Chains A and B, each alone.
Chain A
Amino acid sequence: MNSTQHDMAFPPPGTPTAVLRRHFPSLVVWALLLAMPYWMGAVGGYTELASRVVIMGLAAMALNFLLGFTGVLSFGHAAYFGLGAYGVAMTIKYLAPSTPLGLLVGLATGTAAAMVIGGLIRKLRGVYFAMVTIAFGQVFYFVVFRWNNVTGGDDGLTGWRRVPLHLGFANVPLEASDKAFYYFALAIFAACVGAMALILRSPFGRTLVAIRENERRARFLGIPVEQHIWLSFVISALFASVAGGLYALLNNFVDPRALRWDMSGNFVIMAVLGGMRSFWGPLIGAAIFVVLQDYVSSQTENWMSFVGAFFVLVVLFFPRGVMGLLRRRVPR
């Protein structure tokens, strides 16, 4: 590639073309998301499925904040996702029929749990970090499972429904319209994803990437690595618990499977499938996974074999994910 071609492919930064080019992928993603309830039907889906894509996408992107951008392998994010879900469900059922309050309680519960557990595990790395996060994820599963007079135990928490959102100037009929709920979920998704993008662009976010690339060097530079990893863990769990809250609202129901280890595995495979090194990758992975799961479980009883074989195939033949593949094809 000679220099003139190079100049054509990369206009000088700051010009409108350069700005447009840099943000082009994000613009496409947002356009697709905004219109999703309208094109989902055309490809055989339905609005609820679109909501699930957005919610699982948020969970996978939250996990990837830790996995892809800090380089720490957490295999227990279902715990925070599930705590967020139970936080919402129990608030609406027992405390007050308010969606924002529920989401706040769910967020606070998940984040508080992550602060404690993150403090215990921040010194561990690699496989051991993964193993401890898996094991700790199960604590909350057993708590919910055993405390059945409050949480509904194995049968899940029923007897509550999502409630309309009062914004002061307008009522959003979340309970009546799937589309209204989709756009509500998308608005929260946008806020969370925007926040994550801002954090990753800040000096703190850059430091996380530095830790991922070379932890020892980061340590030599005087960066308090353990504090950074702890904070990244907490931020990641915070957004995961928001996703969990939305998940409970979507289903009008929550059961212990929302915080079991297989859910954690699903989040990781979504991130890997989409591409861990890419900001939007996990959303793409979540979309593929959710749609596939919906299709396969309607076709066969042996969906576990399919999901399992899918994991194996992705790891063996597709480890860099969709975005990894795209990036390799497009010349830089």
Chain B
Amino acid sequence: MSQLILFNVFNGLIVGAFYALMALGLSLILNLSGVINFAHGGFLALGAYIAYTLMPFTGFWGALVVAPVLTAIIGLIVERILIRPLYGRDPLYSLLLTFGLAYVLEDVARAIWGAQSVPFPIPEMLTTPLSKEFFFLTGYRIFMVVLVAGAVAALFLILNRTRLGMRIRAGTSDLETVSTLGVNVRILRNLNFGLGIYLAGLAGVLAAGMLGLEPTIGTSLIMPSFVAIIVGGLGSLPGTLLGGLLIGVASGVTTVFFPSATEAVIYVMMGLVLLIRPRGLLGEEGRLT
């Protein structure tokens, strides 16, 4: 029993890491530009499919490096053409646009790569279990957790130590002042969007290795990412990370005791957080609007 719980906690942690990776990208874009990127799941799938296409030429490792970058470049172009005209308008419009974009991306993936799930081979060295007793600790899972942790650490380093990161953080609290100080806000938003999409692409490659790859792979991950942002706290990236891991573990544990509530439990958590602490666990005060 304890092994079963341990297994599901660990499983939840991995799923939570996906949620967190995805939610961090969403959060970056939301905080700086006020855009809910509904197409984030579509970009995640795109990243995975690009990796799938590259793999025969570059191998798994090459695809892991290149695919998220290519996805991010597509993200930069999409932001430039479709989303930039909507800044400063009612957030309704960017939400609707990315909503339509999510449809298009899913359909494009289906048209190019087929509706059926395709195999996504991972290197053999990662598939073997590390110990007999803890069968669920395969190399790939450990590798994923390490990689997500590395990506999150790199993200926070970028945000805290580089000029771009500082501008993103400053823009999150007061974009107008940042603009007045001579920062090109358009480029800042563009790069920030690309950074968020990069994280989605990375999550896509990793998720495909674990779950297999089909056009709807992103759709099942986007709603929990919204929940992660709200539970973790509005406007707070560490909060988003915490929220993602927390809801992942919560749904993992629920699988043991009450399997049919696996999905619903995270929404119950969101309800409780909103009831007790509307701004979220680590949310800033006055960020409710």
Pairwise interchain contact A312-B36, C-beta atoms closer than 8 A: no
A302 contact from B96, B99, B107, Cβ within 8 A: B107
A145 to B94 Cα, complex, angstroms: 29
Q: Using A128-B289, A315-B97 as known contacts, say yes or no to A308 and B226 having CB atoms under 8 A apart.
A: no
Chain B binding site: helix, strand, loop or mixed by DSSP?
helix
A189 to B105 Cα, complex, angstroms: 36
Is the C-beta of A309 less than 8 angstroms from some C-beta in chain B? yes
The interface residues of chain B lying within 8 Å CB-to-CB of A268 are 92, 96
The residue on A at minimum CB distance from B91 is: A127
A124 contact from B101, B227, B288, Cβ within 8 A: B288
Q: Using A304-B103, A307-B103 as known contacts, say yes or no to A121 and B274 having CB atoms under 8 A apart.
A: yes
Pairwise interchain contact A135-B36, C-beta atoms closer than 8 A: no
A200 to B221 Cα, complex, angstroms: 39
A302 to B109 Cα, complex, angstroms: 11
Please choose the segment from B11-19, B52-60, B259-267 that sits at the chain A interface, where 4 or more of its residues have CB less than 8 A away.
Answer: B259-267
Q: Using A130-B36, A315-B100 as known contacts, say yes or no to A272 and B92 having CB atoms under 8 A apart.
A: yes
Is the C-beta of A166 less than 8 angstroms from some C-beta in chain B? no
Is the C-beta of A131 less than 8 angstroms from some C-beta in chain B? yes
Pairwise interchain contact A261-B86, C-beta atoms closer than 8 A: no
Number of A positions contacting B (CB below 8 A): 44
Is the C-beta of B134 less than 8 angstroms from some C-beta in chain A? no
Pairwise interchain contact B226-A126, C-beta atoms closer than 8 A: no
Q: Using A128-B289, A134-B223, A135-B230 as known contacts, say yes or no to A305 and B103 having CB atoms under 8 A apart.
A: yes
Is the C-beta of A24 less than 8 angstroms from some C-beta in chain B? no
Pairwise interchain contact B91-A130, C-beta atoms closer than 8 A: yes
The interface residues of chain B lying within 8 Å CB-to-CB of A253 are none
CB distance from B20 to the nearest CB of A (A): 16
Is the C-beta of B82 less than 8 angstroms from some C-beta in chain A? yes
Pairwise interchain contact B274-A120, C-beta atoms closer than 8 A: yes
The residue on B at minimum CB distance from A137 is: B223
Counting chain A CB atoms within 10 Å of each CB, the highest count among B91, B96, B97 belongs to: B96
CB distance from A138 to the nearest CB of B (A): 5
Number of B positions contacting A (CB below 8 A): 47
The interface residues of chain B lying within 8 Å CB-to-CB of A311 are 96-97, 99-101, 103
Pairwise interchain contact B270-A135, C-beta atoms closer than 8 A: yes
Q: Which of A297-332 contact B (CB under 8 A)?
A: 302, 304-305, 307-312, 314-316, 319
A142 to B262 Cα, complex, angstroms: 9
Pairwise interchain contact B96-A123, C-beta atoms closer than 8 A: no
The interface residues of chain B lying within 8 Å CB-to-CB of A262 are 103
The residue on B at minimum CB distance from A315 is: B97
The residue on B at minimum CB distance from A135 is: B226
A135 to B230 Cα, complex, angstroms: 9
Is the C-beta of B34 less than 8 angstroms from some C-beta in chain A? yes
Pairwise interchain contact B223-A130, C-beta atoms closer than 8 A: no
Pairwise interchain contact B95-A127, C-beta atoms closer than 8 A: yes
List, sorted by A's number, 9 A–B pairs whose CB atoms are closer than 8 Å: A128-B230, A130-B92, A131-B229, A132-B226, A135-B270, A143-B264, A262-B103, A268-B96, A316-B97
Q: Which residues of A contact B (CB under 8 A)?
A: 67, 73, 75, 117, 120-121, 123-128, 130-132, 134-136, 138-139, 142-143, 145-147, 261-262, 265, 268-269, 272, 302, 304-305, 307-312, 314-316, 319
Q: Which residues of B contact A (CB under 8 A)?
A: 30, 34-36, 82, 85-86, 89-97, 99-108, 110-111, 223, 226-227, 229-230, 234, 260-261, 263-264, 267, 270-271, 274-275, 278, 287-289
